[in-house]
Structures are given as C-alpha cells and as structure tokens.
Amino acid sequence: MQVRKMKFARAIGVMAALAVTTIGTMVSAATGPGYDDPTNWPQYHRSYNAWRFSPLDQINKANVKRMHVAWIHQPGAVTHGLQATPIVIDGVMYSIAADNNVFALNAATGAVLWRYTPKLDPVVREVFYGSASRGVTVGRGKVYIGSLDGRFIALDQKTGKELWSTQLTNMRAEGGALFSSPPQLAGNTLFGGTTGGDQPIIGKIYAVNADTGERTWTFEIPRDDPKSWPGDSRKRGGGSAWLPGTYDPTSDTIYIGTSNASPDFNRDDRMGDNLYTATVLALDAKSGKVKWHRQEVPNDTWDFDAAYESLLVPSTDGKSALVHLNKNGFVYVMDKDNGSMLNAWQYTENMNWAKGVDPKTGLPIEPNYPETGKTKLHCPNLLGARSWNHGAYNPGTKLWYSHGMEVCNHVTSAKQEPVMGISSLTLGLSDIRLTDPPGKKADGWLGAFDPITGKQAWKVRFEMPPLSSVLATGGGLVITGDMRGVLYAFDADNGRELWRFNAGSGARGGPISYSVNGKQYIAIPTGLGSHAPGFLTGAFPQIRDLPGGSALMVFSVD
C-alpha cells in the first residue's frame, strides 16, 4: 500500500485537537437528531446529511497508535459476515447480523441486553439476495428493521419485543423482492426500498406509519409512461432502491437513489430513458410524490445504479449541495432543492463507457452501449467505481473520504426472455468477466476529495478494493478496513497511516465512533459478506483464499 500526495489549492486543516464543541457548532444546523450530543451515533449515517462524521476527538492523531481492543461481540452466524452500521444511543448499541438477527449491547462492555430473531418465511432460503442485513433504525422508542421476507418490523427499544410487523412485498410474485437495508425515519414516516433491479418486476419504495406500521404510500420506480417504457417493458423493468435513503427535515424531503433497469445489459426491448431507474429521487415525505428527479444514466445498460448515498455539503453559495456518486464513475453535484446541476466530475481513473458527463445537463456524452451478440470491454465494472460501502465527510478538512475500485468487465450482451421466479435474474447477457483495466493492474484505493470540485488531496492504494465504509472523526482520523481484515486509521490531512490492526476477516460494514461515561470508542464490523467479493474473484483470484468471519470489534485508548 502506498500514499500519493497531491497539491491542494486551499488551506485544509483544523488542528487535530480541535474541540468537540467547536466542530459541533460548525455543523449542527444541518445534521439531525443526536448531533448535538456527540456521544451518540443515532442513525445510519449518524446525521441527516450523510456525513458519517463523529466530532469526538479523545482518540486522535497523537494517541491512536495506542488504540487497542476494548471488547468483541460475535453475533453467531459467520458465513455471511457483518454488513451493518451499528447505532449507539445513550450507552446502548443496536445492530443486526445475517438472517435479521438483531441485538442490543452495553456499548461500554459488549454485554448482551437483548436479542431478537424473527421467524422468517421459508421462502428466504430460495432468494438470490438472502441473508444480508445492513443495519437497523432506532427512534420513537422502537428499533426498526427491513426483513428478508419483505416486511417492516418494529421492536420495543428497551426489550426487543416485537410491536408490529407489516408485510409489504409479495416475494413469490415479485421475484424475491426483499429489504436488505434498514428503513429510515422521516418524522413519523418510515420508508425504504427493496432489492429487485435485476429481476423482471416493478421495483417499489414503501412508506408506513412509524408508530402503527399502517401503509401510507407506495412509489413505483418504473414510471407509467410509454415514451419511457415502450410496450409492456415497464412490467419487467426492475428498478429498486436497495440502500437507505436520507431525509432533509428542513424541507421534509426524502432523497433516495434507484437501481438499474432490467434486463441489465440488453436494451432491445426497452429503448426509452426508463425513468425512474438509475435516478436520484426527491420525494415528499408525507405523500411520496416527486419533488424533482435527476436521472444519471438514461437507458442504463451497464448495471450502473444510482442507489448510493446522497451527501449534503455546503456549496460555494452558502447553501447545501447534494453530492452523489454513481456506479458509473462520475460524481454529480446538484442543488438539493431542485436537482439542477452544479457540477459533475470523474471519480474513477479508468472509464470508457462514455466520453464524459456534461456538467450542465448531467447527461452522458457519447455513451458506449452494450450490443446484442457482441463482447465489449466496459470500465468501470458492474460493481461500480465503488461498491455500496459509504464515504465520509469531515467539515473541518472539508474533504470527502471514499473508496474506489479500478476494475473493468468484458460483457457479451444477449437477448433474454424474462423468467419469473423467486431467484430469477434477468441480466441480458451470455457472459461477463471482470478484468484488469487496459495496460494496468486492477486495484483499489482510498481517496480524499473536495466533494464539490473533485479536487484530490491524497490517495492510498490497496492491492484489492476495500469494501468497508469509511468513518471520519474530530480527532483528524479516517477509519476503514480492507478485504484481508486489516483495519486502519489514516491522517485525514495527508493519508499517512497511523494505526493498523489485523482482525482476521475482511471489513464490509460501517465503522462508527461514540462515547460512554466520558470514554471514546471506535467500533468496526468485520467479516466479509454479500456477493461482491465473489464477483471480484475474476480480477482478484486471491479473494478465494480469504477467511470468513463475523465479529464486531470495538477499540479504545486508555
């Protein structure tokens, strides 16, 4: 691994020991519940603006080399790793493991306070995307999950007792559409989307009353528009919203990204723009109606979802911009109030699916579409310029820290009749192989960028693309992990490695930081999971030898 430093035009830093109260004052206006209390990690991204930033600075650049294991929790099943981002509120940690196993722990000791294991419909054993769970949501005295058999479930926050359960998807009729990510709160509305972008279905986003579980609205992602979906292609159009959305309480707006259209790599039967797939949606939280939309990949034929997080950061005019990374290797910078383009910049180093993106219109320039019966090399690959693991923004450095993967794929597009079934995939191809970029060796990196301009501050190279999310802290640290199970703390200003720990199995979930009784902790879920590592073996055969695991590692400094 090596660090490449870049000249950066403006002054970056705040001092490593910048007080928690100072940073809290800088950013509290646009954050959300729990941000005024820096000891908590109260929601999936910690704050409404999706920064994944903790202002805590007790663990910092000066002492992180002394960071050691405080406690470890092994939640049971190890075959599918840990993909979740834990939640911590008032000294209690809430999280979830494979197969929707939910647990509450004493956040200082790891002692189990309660567990909940749902009785899942046996149909989940037949589903392609089964077992993965990315987290829980806590609020209104409840712990909420999206289940692997298509339900929203509410548990009592203190006891783990089930309070209500609402069945939202018909899994056998909808290709096994399920919830792999936690639903999010928008006031008293609980909302979330399902898997299904690779299935011949109509993908949906659901909303229920957070107190009762009663349905309030449902949004169908493939828009009912014959210009967008010729013939009856909409009925098989796929589309999903499989990652958590974010919520802006100042405007009562939900921001949520959607997946690719189906079939993924063949467009012969869907020659429209295929709204609202590969789109960032701004929805009214109460009604689910569209306030605005930004389709990043019209007629997506590369599996370039727009499902990733919507980051809200200060822009040059003093307002908040919405910054969104697409799997296609470009970052789209938009006005959060109307979706108008402010900028677009290239994120990945290797890109040939289009000549570029027009920063004024947000549309691709000369896209290089897959063609039926032909084999083409496309960069980036179907997993994207980054996998779904999230980046982090530090308001002190004004930098966004995020991973990337430099991997391409050879795809042979093929016309494929849709097959309805619980685990059916309609990919529209006869062959796909991940491979090195032309003239280079495939690898991965962690980079630091100005999220508005794309100006790079530094970049650290990895042998294989890291699949962990990233944490930024007020102590000047950037925390993450790699596929071999090595956990890292980097200097937020220059990318210098300050600490590492071998956890034994790769990191796939979301690291967090919190404090209990005046002591700061950093928690990092470990254990590879999901299909991404398996797909990557084409370019990185060494992945086959990586060990499984499932352990929540928690660290502190004495």
- 5 phi and psi angles, rounded to 5 deg: -90, 150
The one-letter code for the residue type at 431 is D
- Is the pTM higher than 0.75? The answer reads yes
Specify the DSSP element, H or E, that contains 344: strand 341-346
Residue 11 has pLDDT above 60, yes or no: no
Query: Catalytic: which of 303, 443, 482, 493?
Result: 303
At 27, the pLDDT band (50, 70, 90 cuts) reads very low
At 20, the pLDDT band (50, 70, 90 cuts) reads very low
Tokens representing residue 521 in the block: 């902790």
Our answer to whether residue 273 is catalytic in this structure is no
d(CA 333, CA 277): 19
What average pLDDT does the segment 347-375 reach? 98
pLDDT tens by residue, 50-64: 999 999 999 999 999
CB-based contacts of 456, cutoff 8 Å, min separation 6: 6, 447, 448, 449
In which residue are the tokens 């939309």 written? 293
For 250-287, the DSSP string reads TTTEEEEE---BSSTT--TT--S--TTTTEEEEEETTT
Collapsed DSSP state (helix, strand, coil) of residue 356: strand
Instruction: Give a yes or no: residue 95 inside a domain.
Output: no
What average pLDDT does the segment 100-112 reach? 98
Instruction: Give a yes or no: residue 447 inside a domain.
Output: no
At 426, the pLDDT band (50, 70, 90 cuts) reads confident
What CATH number did the domain enclosing 342 receive?
2.140.10.10
Residue 36 has pLDDT above 80, yes or no: no
Contact 254, 283 (CB under 8 A): yes
Burial 251-260 (b: 16+ CB within 10 A, else e): ebbbbbbbbb
Instruction: Give a yes or no: residue 353 inside a domain.
Output: yes
pLDDT tens by residue, 433-483: 999 999 999 999 999 999 999 999 999 999 999 999 999 999 999 999 999
d(CA 266, CA 72): 46
Task: Please tell me which residue, 417 or 94, carries the higher pLDDT value.
Answer: 94
Beta strands at 53-54 and 471-473: parallel, antiparallel or unpaired = parallel
* pLDDT, position 337: 97
d(CA 557, CA 520): 8
What percent of the chain clears pLDDT 70, i.e. is strictly above it?
93
C-alpha dist (Å) from residue 553 to 169, 414, 510, 513: 34, 45, 11, 12
Name which of 197-201, 268-272, 458-462 the model is least confident about: 197-201
Measured on CA atoms in the order 110, 112, 113, 119, is the torsion positive or negative?
Answer: positive
Half-sphere CA count of 425, side-chain side, radius 13 A: 14
d(CA 435, CA 408): 5
Tally of structural domains, the chain? 1
* pLDDT, position 531: 72
pLDDT tens by residue, 311-339: 999 988 788 999 999 999 999 999 999 99
Tokens representing residue 174 in the block: 């909808």
Residue 4 has pLDDT above 50, yes or no: no
Chain centroid to Cα 241, Å, comes to: 11
Instruction: Give a yes or no: residue 506 inside a domain.
Output: no
Mean per-residue pLDDT of the chain: 92
Instruction: Give a yes or no: residue 325 inside a domain.
Output: yes
Instruction: Give a yes or no: residue 124 inside a domain.
Output: no
Contact 380, 327 (CB under 8 A): yes
* Torsional class of 430: left (φ above 0), alpha (ψ -120 to 50), beta (otherwise): alpha
DSSP strands (E only) in 396-547: 399-406, 408-413, 429-435, 443-449, 456-462, 471-473, 477-481, 486-491, 497-502, 512-516, 519-526
Name which of 203-212, 231-240, 361-370, 526-535 the model is least confident about: 526-535
pLDDT tens by residue, 493-515: 999 999 999 999 999 999 999 99
pLDDT tens by residue, 201-239: 999 999 999 999 999 999 999 999 999 999 999 999 999
Domain that holds residue 230: 171-382+408-434
Chain centroid to Cα 357, Å, comes to: 23
* pLDDT, position 121: 95
C-alpha dist (Å) from residue 508 to 231, 475, 518, 526: 41, 23, 28, 6
Residue 7 has pLDDT above 60, yes or no: no
Instruction: Give a yes or no: residue 228 inside a domain.
Output: yes
pLDDT tens by residue, 252-266: 999 999 999 999 999
For 172-233, the DSSP string reads TTTTT----S--EEETTEEEEE-S-TTSSSB-EEEEEETTT--EEEEEESS-S-TTTS-TTG
d(CA 448, CA 11): 14
pLDDT tens by residue, 293-311: 999 999 999 999 999 999 9
Cross-strand pairs, 217: 207
At 35, the pLDDT band (50, 70, 90 cuts) reads low
Nearest residue to 557 (alpha-carbon basis) of 486, 506, 498: 498
Specify the DSSP element, H or E, that contains 113: strand 112-116
Contact 75, 37 (CB under 8 A): no
* pLDDT, position 15: 30
* pLDDT, position 21: 33
- 461 phi and psi angles, rounded to 5 deg: -90, 145
* pLDDT, position 128: 79
d(CA 399, CA 402): 10
Contact 336, 280 (CB under 8 A): no
Q: For residue 377, count CB atoms less than 10 angstroms from its CB and return exposed for 0-12, middle for 13-18, buried for 19 or more.
A: middle
Residue 33 has pLDDT above 70, yes or no: no
pLDDT tens by residue, 158-195: 999 999 999 999 988 888 899 999 999 999 999 999 99
Q: For residue 173, count CB atoms less than 10 angstroms from its CB and return exposed for 0-12, middle for 13-18, buried for 19 or more.
A: exposed
Residue 23 has pLDDT above 50, yes or no: no
pLDDT tens by residue, 115-131: 999 999 999 988 877 78
Instruction: Give a yes or no: residue 102 inside a domain.
Output: no
